[in-house]
Structure 1
Amino acid sequence: MLKTILSISGKPGLYKLVSQGKNMLIVESINADKKRTPAYGHDKIISLADIAMYTDDAEVPLKDVLVSMKKKENGAVVSLDPKKASSEELRAYLAEVLPDFDRERVYPADIKKLISWYNILVTNGITDFEAETAGETEEAKAE
């Protein structure tokens, strides 16, 4: 599921991959407006499935962090407001979700983005972070 959810640098929010053109992707905003726009090759586009959080030992896939957040929040949005929270509050929140996160390489801005992404996903009914589509399962088998 997270493979088709994209973050585009310079554009707020998250986007769902709809289609591919020759030199661009057609993406749809996950927010309520569902606005479709092109995303070009020069835009920095990353799939949420390709993102990981630093820990003291290794890197933890974003889906595992989101699942942990979902358990902590009982499937609801995060009660902590990332825009108003201090660095210490953000780090304390992440420590509850991912106790061994690397405190030197994970910045407060990263935690704010993580919380806002989680809230966007939950608000728009995308809560099954571990589910794989049939295509993703086939790709994993091919590798």
Structure 2
Amino acid sequence: MDLTGIIAISGKPGLYKVLAQGKNNIIVESLEDKKRVPAYASDRISALDDISIYTYDDDKPLREIFTSIFEKEKGKETISHKEDQNKLKAYLMEVLPNFDQERVYGSDIKKIFQWYNLLLKAGALVPEEKETKKAAKADSAEGNEKKPAAKSTAKKAAEEGEKEEKAPAKKAPAKKTAATATKSATAAKAPAAKAPAKANAKATSAKKVAAPKTGSSRGK
């Protein structure tokens, strides 16, 4: 269970949630009546996330004890802190059998059950499994929000690809130029072919002219 930001202030009843921090104080909100008050450095403040209970082995974090009580009661309210001290002690032994009975006082045991019921009523007790599922659900929702953007990018890329595929169609003028070049080459070759024809024509006309002259001279 996450108890981050939940504190107890010595001399003040109940528990508080830290809302903001100033230069010389912090603004806290009561979990019971939701009233906001300042807490100063001179106040004795205890963060529940840092509190542990003495055992004959290693100290047990308070959040783990709350988890054990939550599972035992199936998410419901536990024994009242106003019950007989022996009942409270016997209950604690059920969820924490090896707690140090010499170092854990009756007032400490009362606070455990008082704080548990107060946090439960305020909706501040959430098992780790639910917290994990909630975080996973938030990540999934965030991922789904990002998917349309990715799809949009893919669509844009596809459109650009189509444009690139269509781009070669602009090469048509190049074919025209090639055809023109071929035509020009053919035209360039034509005069070369006609030149001998003209020469032959001149030669033929020369022969025709020369022939009468020869004949006339013989007649004379």
Which TM-score band (shorter chain)? Answer: 0.7 to 0.9
Larger Rg: 2
Structure 2 stretches of 5 or more lacking a match? 136-220
- Corresponding residue number in structure 1 for 2:54: 54
Structure 1 stretches of 5 or more lacking a match? 135-143
Aligned equivalents of 2:75, 2:117: Cα separation in 1? 10
Aligned equivalents of 1:62, 1:12: Cα separation in 2? 19
CA positional deviation for 1:65: 0.4
Q: Which residue among 103, 111, 135 is the counterpart of 1:113?
A: 111
CA positional deviation for 1:88: 1.4
Aligned AA for 2:94? E
More helix by share: 2
- Corresponding residue number in structure 1 for 2:98: 100
Aligned AA for 1:8? I
Structure 2 length-normalised TM: 0.56
Aligned equivalents of 2:127, 2:27: Cα separation in 1? 22
CA positional deviation for 1:126: 1.2
The 5 Å alignment of 1:5-84 reads: 5-31=6-32, 33-78=33-78, 80-83=79-82
CA positional deviation for 1:39: 0.2
Identity %: 51
1:102 alignment partner, SS class: coil
CA positional deviation for 1:129: 5.4
Aligned AA for 2:75? G
1:7 alignment partner, SS class: strand
1:2 alignment partner, SS class: coil
Q: Which consecutive aligned stretches of 4+ in structure 1 deviate over 3 angstroms post-superposition?
A: 129-132
RMSD over aligned CA atoms reads: 1.6
Aligned AA for 1:82? H
Aligned AA for 2:109? I
Residues 31-88 of structure 1, C-alpha deviations (whole Å, 9 max, x = no match): 1x2100000000001110000001111201111000001011111111x2221x2221
Aligned equivalents of 1:7, 1:81: Cα separation in 2? 19
Q: Return the structure number with greater relative CO, CA threshold 8 A, min gap 6.
A: 1
Aligned equivalents of 1:98, 1:73: Cα separation in 2? 14
Structure 1 length-normalised TM: 0.86
Number of residues of Structure 1 aligned to a counterpart in Structure 2? 130
Tell me if the contact between 1:66 and 1:129 (Cα under 8 Å) persists in the aligned partners: no
